[in-house]
Amino acid sequence: MPVMTAEQIHSFLEEHFPQISHLDMRIEDVRKNGITVRIPYHERHLRPGGTISGPTMMALADAGTYLAILAQLGPVAEAVTTNLNINFLRKPGQNDIVAQCNILKLGKRLAVGEVTIFSAGEDDPVAHATMTYSIPPRE
Amino acid sequence: MPVMTAEQIHSFLEEHFPQISHLDMRIEDVRKNGITVRIPYHERHLRPGGTISGPTMMALADAGTYLAILAQLGPVAEAVTTNLNINFLRKPGQNDIVAQCNILKLGKRLAVGEVTIFSAGEDDPVAHATMTYSIPPRE
Amino acid sequence: MPVMTAEQIHSFLEEHFPQISHLDMRIEDVRKNGITVRIPYHERHLRPGGTISGPTMMALADAGTYLAILAQLGPVAEAVTTNLNINFLRKPGQNDIVAQCNILKLGKRLAVGEVTIFSAGEDDPVAHATMTYSIPPRE
Amino acid sequence: MPVMTAEQIHSFLEEHFPQISHLDMRIEDVRKNGITVRIPYHERHLRPGGTISGPTMMALADAGTYLAILAQLGPVAEAVTTNLNINFLRKPGQNDIVAQCNILKLGKRLAVGEVTIFSAGEDDPVAHATMTYSIPPRE
């Protein structure tokens, strides 16, 4: 079960990851082996054509999975992304985007997560990503 | 909704893909945008250490998603795999393996699917894959 | 052979992709099926621990390959990223990062590129990515 | 520098991986951080349409990188594939296939390799793969 609440994750994020404050990530749900994260719509996330940019979705997938791991292990973890694979499926409209982040494996050395990203209110996903994190040895 | 039954998919497979008959794939379920496929345990699928080999799981993921697309489009499709990404999560025991194959996108030119592979009877997945297929223009 | 010069690519970038101006990308070389791109060091690219962030490298890989395709096809192209896979290999120091972007395939419908990212002056790569772009039908 | 010769790798392969003897892999070259592997043409590798099958190329990429790691670390290594990503670029003809396998990172816990696969005698690659291996702790 998770050992951190949404509020604790928010505080951790503000303190340790000020450089992604531009994403304005909101933790909507923390559950066993998963979290839901929302990025409110902002025009700075747009790319030409008026859709949410790929790098915004990649940053969301990466940070969301990191937070899902953190929620399980607590704030001591210094997990590092080693692999990220993302498929862009549909163009998201000018709306919030919401990421369902699930942990597929939480091992001693590696964690693997999966993220499905939706444009708020839509049924079909706009992107899907998988990620691997290396977990440093814990004393 | 699917346009082919499990039985029709089996017949198609036998006729057009004799070279993967060694996998002895069984379609367990055909549903909207997804199928479930089982490979019965056989020692020819083992790798050193006595676990099901990676290439067996890759072939299952690839073929399973292909069949999921086929079930939606019918036997005319000549989809070709363009990308496959797989994470190996746990060592599967000497048991059947079961793949849940879901289509994330079925576009005019590209289809994207996701596969979670389980060792029969276990809750935690042994592998997870995503695949892209190029769909040739239909006249 | 390329149909655009480094200067033309820069102008295109400034006009059409103002939202990645924060990367301050510099085209160092344009060649057959490849370009070299540099991002000058700036502290806004850092993540905790003082290394260049993953999202910065993902944005570089994505944009670099896009520009490599553009250099071959000319400014009419509206290629869209459909898949990106990146492996983070080593922590880049506080230095410029340089991406060698090569096109593996430039088909009618899909282009596939590969990017190796270096911390300036180092021999071992800090990241390696592959990407697929969907190329819209040309009239 | 490599610590095993092509001949030693062949012997290791025959003894420990009899289940991939059907690939009939030939080590053509062993060099610093890389090897070249060839699979002679055989009709059992074909898929419908008369091209070399995807699973054959995936098995080649996986095994080739494993052997490249082995050549550097020696026969004690029990590296396990954790991630494989492959892009299929062109249809290989009825010919040998040749894989250039390069190690991008050989760390204490993870190794990352890259493979470019060619149809013998052709200049343009037919597939490109990247792989991660988990390296067990060495006593």
Tell me, what's the ipTM?
Answer: 0.93
pLDDT score, position A137:
77
- Quickly count: other Cβ atoms within 10 Å of residue B122's Cβ: 14
Interface test with A, best of B104, B110, B119 (most A CBs within 10 A): B104
- Specify the pLDDT at position A15: 84
Straight-line distance from the first to the last Cα atom of chain B, in angstroms, rounded to the nearest whole number = 21
8 Å CB contact of C85 and D90: no
Q: Between A48, A58, A82, which is nearest C55 by CB?
A: A58
Instruction: List chain A domain ranges.
Output: 6-134
- Per residue, the 3-state secondary structure of chain B, as one string, reads CCCCCHHHHHHHHHHHCHHHHHHCCEEEEEECCEEEEEECCCHHHEECCCEECHHHHHHHHHHHHHHHHHHHHCCCCCCEEEEEEEEECCCCCCCCEEEEEEEEEECCCEEEEEEEEEECCCCCCCEEEEEEEECCCCC
CA distances from B17 to C92, C118, D23, D56, D116 (A): 47, 44, 19, 14, 26
Segment C7-11 mean pLDDT: 92
Beta bridge partners of D60: none
Q: Is the pLDDT of residue C48 over 80?
A: no
As averages over each run of 10 residues, the pLDDT of chain D (139 residues) reads 92 82 90 96 84 92 94 84 97 96 95 98 97 85
Contact B60, B72 (CB under 8 A): no
The alpha carbon torsion through C18, C24, C30, C36 (nearest 10 deg) reads -130
pLDDT(C77) > 70: no
Q: What does the pLDDT look like over A51-74, one tens digit per residue?
A: 899 999 999 999 999 999 999 998
Distance from CA of A132 to the nearest CA of D (A): 9
Percent of chain C with pLDDT over 90: 73
Q: Scanning every residue of chain A, which has its alpha carbon at the shortest distance from the alpha carbon of B127?
A: A104
* Cβ-based contacts of D83 with chain A (< 8 Å): 83, 132
Q: Are B14 and B84 in contact (CB under 8 A)?
A: no
Distance CA C53, CA C117 (A): 13
Neighbouring C-beta atoms of residue D139, cutoff 10 Å = 4
Q: Does A109 touch chain D (CB under 8 A)?
A: yes
Q: Name the residue facing C105 among D89, D104, D130 (closest C-beta).
A: D89
Check CB contact of A26 with chain B, cutoff 8 Å. Answer: no
Contacts of D17 in chain B (CB under 8 A): 47-48
**DSSP 3-state of A105:** strand
What's the rounded Cα separation, in Å, for the pair B6 and B47? 30
Residues in chain B, how many?
139
On whether any CB of chain C is under 8 Å from the CB of A3, the answer is: no
| Number of A–D residue contacts, CB under 8 Å | 14
Contacts of B109 in chain C (CB under 8 A): 109, 134
Residue C105 sits at the chain B interface (C-beta within 8 Å):
no
In whole angstroms, what is the distance from residue B111 CA to residue B83 CA? 11
Q: What is the pLDDT of residues B12-58, one digit of tens each?
A: 888 887 777 888 899 999 999 999 999 999 988 887 778 899 999 99
Which string of DSSP letters, residue by residue, matches chain D? --SS-HHHHHHHHHHH-GGGGGG--EEEEEETTEEEEEE---GGGEETTTEE-HHHHHHHHHHHHHHHHHHHH-TT---EEEEEEEEE-S---SS-EEEEEEEEEE-SSEEEEEEEEEETT-SS-SEEEEEEEE-PPP-
Q: Any chain C CB within 8 A of the CB of D90?
A: yes
Q: Average pLDDT of B57-85?
A: 91
- CB proximity list for C17: less than 8 A, separation 6 or greater: A47, A48, C63
- A112 to chain C, any CB pair closer than 8 A? The answer is no
User: What's the confidence (pLDDT) of residue D120?
Assistant: 96
CB A73 within 8 A of CB A4: no
Residues of B in contact with A112 (CB under 8 A): 87, 89, 128
Q: Are strands D80-88 and B80-88 parallel, antiparallel or unpaired?
A: antiparallel
pLDDT (0 to 100) of residue A77? 64
Residue A125 has pLDDT above 90, yes or no: yes
**Residue B92 burial by Cβ neighbours in a 10 Å radius (0-12, 13-18, 19+):** buried
Cβ contacts below 8 Å, chain A against chain B, sum to 36
Report pTM.
0.95
Helices C54-73 and C6-16 pack at an angle, to 10 degrees, of: 120
Our CA-based measurement puts residue B105 at a distance from the nearest CA of chain A, in whole angstroms, of 6
Nearest to D105 among C89, C105, C112 (CB): C89
Contact A134 D82 (CB under 8 A): no
Chain C touched by B104 (CB under 8 Å): no
The reply to whether D21 touches chain A by the CB within 8 Å rule is: no
**Chain A nearest-CA residue for C17:** A48
Contacting chains of C (3 CB pairs or more, <8 Å) are A, B, D
Residue B49 neighbours by CB under 8 Å, 6+ apart? B91
* Cβ separation B110–C134 shorter than 8 A: yes
- Residue of chain B nearest A106, judged by CA positions: B89
Determine whether the interchain pair B109/C134 forms a contact, defined as Cβ–Cβ distance below 8 Å: yes
pLDDT at position A105 over 70: yes
Residue B89 contacts residue B126 (beta carbons within 8 Å):
yes
Whole-number pLDDT of residue A17: 77
Task: Indicate if the pLDDT at residue B77 is higher than 90.
Answer: no
Give A52's contacts (C-beta < 8 A, 6+ positions apart): A45, A46, A92, A94, A97, A119, A126
Q: Mean pLDDT across the stretch C75-84?
A: 86
Check residue C65 and give its pLDDT: 95
User: What would the CATH number be for the domain defined by A6-134?
Assistant: 3.10.129.10
The pLDDT, as a whole number, for residue D139 is 60
Q: Give pLDDT, residue D43.
A: 87
Task: Compute the nearest-CA separation of D130 from chain C (Å).
Answer: 8
Residue A125 to residue B132, Cβ atoms within 8 A: no
Question: Chains A and C: how many Cβ contacts under 8 Å?
Answer: 60
pLDDT tens profile B78-89: 789 999 999 999
Q: Within its chain, how far is the Cα of A103 from the centroid?
A: 11
Q: Assess contact for D99 and D125: CB atoms under 8 A.
A: no
Residue B76 in this model has a pLDDT that exceeds 80: no
From chain B, the residues in CB contact with D58 under 8 A are: 55, 58-59, 62, 84
Mean pLDDT of C29-33: 95
Minimal-distance CA residue of chain D relative to B87: D83
- Interface check for B128 against chain A (CB to CB < 8 A): the answer is yes
Token couple for D59? 């098995």
A108-120 tens-digit pLDDT: 899 999 999 999 9
Which residues on chain B are in Cβ contact (under 8 Å) with A104? 87, 89, 125, 128
Contact at 8 Å (CB) between D62 and B54?
yes
